[in-house]
Structure 1
Amino acid sequence: MHALTALFYALETQPEIPVATAQRILFLRAQAHPDLEALKDRLTCEQTWKPHASGLENQGIRHTREAEGKYDLILLLPDRQRESIMSDFAQAHELLAEGGTLVTALHNDWGAKRMEQQLAEVTGEVRTLSKNHSRVFWTTKTGPWKTETLSQWKANGAMQRILDGRFWSQPGLFNWDQIDEGSALLIEHLPHSLSGTVADLGSSWGFLSDHVLRKCPNIRSLDMYEADARALECARRNTGLIPVPVRPRILWKDVTQGVGNACYDSIVMNPPFHDGREANAMLGLKFITVAAQALRTSGHLWLVANKHLPYENLMKEAFEHQSTVAETRSFKILHGTHPTLVTRQVRKKPRR
């Protein structure tokens, strides 16, 4: 929220940013803010992260996953990953009209000063202010930017093959260019006897789902839930050509808000525990609760978590049987079966 607050402070206080006169405004990686209301008629918001997209919807702001056209003013609130930020700069350049202004807000801890310098090397001139532990910097497209550098930034941030070509991924995704150590531990302990309907909650680019499809021949279906839309095409490519009869459904969903009326025999997951910059164990607790609610009474939950995260008490409440299957210095594998009525009562139909 620091960078978001700083961004709108700059729009309010810096007259050289043409927020009042711009006919078309684009907000890349947009987040809800009260001041968007005044821009509504001129505004396009691009957002690939489902929780933020839902926040925009709740404010009545339309959004898209891929903006098109040219814009007089582009606002950018990047993620923290370096290649992703620089790719966002390249995208903004393509979408910015001649004479248009790009305004970027970034938290200091995410390399704001360095990213400002990188942009200045490409554009020639950048103006800046500091606010709320963040930097807001802006530049105008009045002369030629270094297009070769921008093209390289775009390529570096695009979907690409990783791990000797075995998988597709993209900078900005969780552990985008390597197999997460926790997920690698989980697949060592997942039984190949998983069967029936299966879900992968927080599937990212599809490593766990790839394993389930290849090693669990008795599954009838697989649903992959992921909040980051950038991962969806990667997951489709990574799982779509596996020579098995099951074709997974890949769903753009915020798991913390539930999975509707879906019901599963088994769920596997490596739940997140960071919300932006901050560690937030509540995310994992919400994932466990949603999993328990979505499992059949005989269902199984298999999850990996960092060893310090306090999930055991909820697992005891949510499942008749739960155990710690394995532990290393950094991770633990938890297994729960037979979800309890306490968590499943929300699935009952209301009385008429």
Structure 2
Amino acid sequence: MNARLSLALAATAVTLPEGHILLLRPPADLVLEGLPLDRCVAVQGFRPDHDALAARGVAMPDAPEGPFAAVVVFAARAKALTLDLIAQACGAVAPGAPVIVDGSKGDGIDSVLKHCKASFDVEGVFAKAHGKVFSFTADTPPAAWLAASKTVDGFVTRPGVFSADGIDPGSALLARHLGDLSGKVCDLGAGWGFLAKAALAAGKVTECTLVEAERDALECARVNITDSRARFHWADATRFEGGPFDVVISNPPFHVARKADPDIGRAFLEAAARLLSPRGRFLMVANRHLPYEATLDEVFGQTVALTEQGGYKIIEAQKPRKVPVRATAPKRRRP
């Protein structure tokens, strides 16, 4: 469990004033001890973490209204996203209110702290549990910290989403195998829509369902894909219920924070098998070294490697075997 903020509050290294508190991108495993939950609201765009926090009693309104007495920012893997959250925090509090930042070394908190010291009057820094918590009085942030959408390779992306700087090479390789699709298609972990748009270019596709856990990425996909056959779902792909589909496509994630964990990809494979019609097929791309073959053999009656190129492999699987949704979703955090 992520106890760093709780420990900082207990040590009075940081304090929360009276009034409503905004939590920006808190992790699912946040220790809630010391937080006045009756006065806290949270914004979390990653659906698995959003749902886990809501189940623990954290208020998660769609559009929380400020100003707030204080904001707690939880660092993301992407520094550009963290700086954007801090800039948002400065605009969400009353003048003179505190902004608290909590992050791990793995999420680059030392670099974020350096940036904040250059722009704000940072108070004492609390170091614990491989990370830091610090606070400062809100002021006008550098204009460059506010993250803006950008167009790359003809697609709109945002800082912090997967492959924000251009088309992922693995996805580009998979797209070359989507020309003969037909019927109802589902893109699991659709990101900002590159694969779904490639699927919709096949004239016999009647519908394409995009399932994406990161809300910012899905909003980019809505801009990138204006085809009336597209359906958009902000959801955890490993627990999504829908279909049946004629084809499922995916470039599944395989990280917990910065650590590789193939178990996440395996959960995507199981979800694909559940969502397919009996005669449906699954097309996926993965890094060549990832050990997905055993899981594919468990949940599909037939698999074939279509190609291996540039460190990636394209696999087609058919004859899905239905497997139940995992009792516990695989742990992951993106971005």
CA contact (8 A) 2:9 2:34 kept: no
| 1:235 lines up with 2:233 in the alignment | no
Count of paired positions: 324
Q: 2:6 maps to which residue? A: 8
After superposition, the C-alpha distances for 1:225-245 in whole angstroms (9 at most, x for unaligned) are 0000111221011011x5xxx
Give the equivalent residue in structure 1 for 2:330.
Answer: none
Q: 1:136 aligns with which of 133, 138, 145?
A: 133
Structure 2 match to 1:254: 236
CA distance in 2, matches of 1:146, 1:94: 8
CA change 1:344–1:14 in 2 (3 A) is: closer
Q: Note if contact 1:48-1:65 (Cα within 8 Å) is conserved in structure 2.
A: no
Structure 1 segment 202-221 matched on structure 2, within 5 A: 202-214=189-201, 216-221=202-207
- Cα distance 1:65–1:127, how it changes in 2: closer, same or farther (>3 A)? farther
Which region of structure 1 is more displaced relative to structure 2, 279-288 or 323-332? 323-332
SS at match of 1:299: strand
Amino acid at match of 1:278: K
- What residue is the counterpart of 2:306 in the other structure? 325
Note the aligned Cα RMSD (angstroms). Answer: 1.8
Moved more, 312-321 or 229-238: 312-321
- Corresponding residue of 2:158: 170
Which residue does the alignment assign to 1:283? 264
Deviation at 1:67, TM superposition (A): 3.5
How far did residue 129 of structure 1 move? Answer: 1.5
Q: CA deviation at 1:97?
A: 1.3
Q: CA deviation at 1:249?
A: 0.8
- Segments of structure 1 that go 5 or more residues without pairing to the other structure are 347-352
Residues 120-199 of structure 1 mapped to structure 2, 5 A cutoff: 120-141=117-138, 145-147=139-141, 149=142, 151-154=143-146, 157-163=147-153, 166-190=154-178, 192-199=179-186
Partner residue in 2 for 1:349: none
Task: Report what 1:224 is aligned to.
Answer: 210
Return the alpha-carbon distance in structure 2 between the equivalents of residues 146 and 46 of structure 1.
Answer: 21
Cα deviation 1:242-301 (Å, max 9, x = unaligned): 5xxx431110000122x2242100001000000222211111000000100110010010
Note the alpha carbon deviations across 1:90-136, whole angstroms, 9 max, x for none: 10100121221111111113221221111121113332121111011
Which residue number corresponds to residue 25 of structure 1? 21
Identity %: 31
TM-score by length of 2: 0.92
More helix by share: 1
Q: Which amino acid aligns with 2:149?
A: M
- Residues 51-92 of structure 1, C-alpha deviations (whole Å, 9 max, x = no match): 110111211222135433111121111211121111111101
Aligned 8 A contact 1:197 1:266 in 2 = yes
For residues 332 and 27 of structure 1, the distance between their equivalents in structure 2, rounded to whole angstroms, comes to 40
Distance 1:329 1:235 in 2: 26
- Equivalent residue letter for 2:196: S
State the alpha-carbon separation in 2 of the partners of residues 263 and 294 from structure 1.
5
TM-aligned CA distance change 1:36 to 1:159, over 3 Å: farther
Superposed CA deviations along residues 165-200 of structure 1, whole A, max 9, x for unmatched, are x1111000001121101001111222x221111000
Q: Which has the larger radius of gyration?
A: 1
Amino acid at match of 2:4: A
**Alpha-carbon distance in structure 2 between the residues aligned to 1:282 and 1:11:** 34
Q: Is the 8 A contact 1:47 1:65 kept in 2?
A: no
Q: 1:302 aligns with which of 283, 286, 294?
A: 283
State whether residues 74 and 82 of structure 2, in contact with CA within 8 Å, keep that contact through their aligned partners in structure 1. no
What is aligned with 1:350? none
TM-score computed with the length of structure 1 as normaliser? 0.87
The code of the aligned residue for 1:122 comes to S
Q: Equivalent residue for 2:318?
A: 337
Q: Secondary structure at the match of 1:175?
A: coil
Asked if the contact 1:120/1:126 (under 8 Å) is kept, the reply is no
| Alpha-carbon separation, structure 1, partners of 2:324 and 2:140 | 59
- Residue 47 of structure 1 contacts residue 64 of structure 1 at CA under 8 Å; is this kept in 2? no
Q: How many Å separate the matches in 2 of 1:54 and 1:302?
A: 28
